[in-house]
Amino acid sequence: MAATQQTPVSLINLAAPSRNLYQIECAAHTRPWSAEVFLQSKGPGYRWCEARIGSQPVGFTVCQQVADELTLHNIAVSPRYQGQGIGAVLIKDILAYAEARLLTVFLEVRVSNQKALNLYHHSGFETVGRRPHYYRLQDSFEDGLVMRWTPATTP
């Protein structure tokens, strides 16, 4: 049970991803993005947020806004800092940003990624679709779930 944030975390918005965040990407994900894709994910519409403890980066999110939709492309927390509420802090920041601008938030997640699913459900996301064989694994595929969060103030 990890949801209460006991660790003092600060959030910083970045104009572009950094090599430090790519290290977190590689440590946290079983199939990380390529460095090229990760470091090129920037420009108009992108929003990077870095979570820090002191001066140390411990997690990040990257979203992309198109019209009134915000897509969460990636979220990761350093393995040794997982389960301390940092993911919840990062998601809360995105939802506050979306709520203030009346943006609907979408994301995709592997059906077996229970920790991420718990986090998204607790944060108010609902499952709105399923993409068969969406994720390529070592020697198989896995379905992806499409999840949506809608701002409370939607007319």
Ligand X SMILES: CC(C)(COP(=O)(O)OP(=O)(O)OC[C@H]1O[C@@H](n2cnc3c(N)ncnc32)[C@H](O)[C@@H]1OP(=O)(O)O)[C@@H](O)C(=O)NCCC(=O)NCCS
| Residues of the shown chain interacting with ligand X in the complex, contacts defined by CB under 6 A | 1-3, 28-29, 75-77, 82-88, 109, 113, 115-116, 118-119, 122
Residue with smaller CB distance to ligand X, 21 or 76? 76
**Residue 5, both tokens:** 């944030």
Catalytic residues: 108, 120
Torsion angle of the four alpha carbons 86, 90, 96, 102, in this order, in degrees rounded to the nearest 10: -150
**Terminal CA-to-CA distance of the chain, rounded, Å?**
35
Degrees, nearest 5: CA angle 57-145-12 = 20
Q: In the bound complex, what is the minimum distance in angstroms from residue 69's beta carbon to ligand X?
A: 17
Residue with smaller CB distance to ligand X, 62 or 116? 116
Q: In the bound complex, what is the minimum distance in angstroms from residue 92's beta carbon to ligand X?
A: 9
- Do 109 and 116 touch, CB atoms closer than 8 A? yes
Question: Minimal CB distance to ligand X: which residue?
Answer: 87
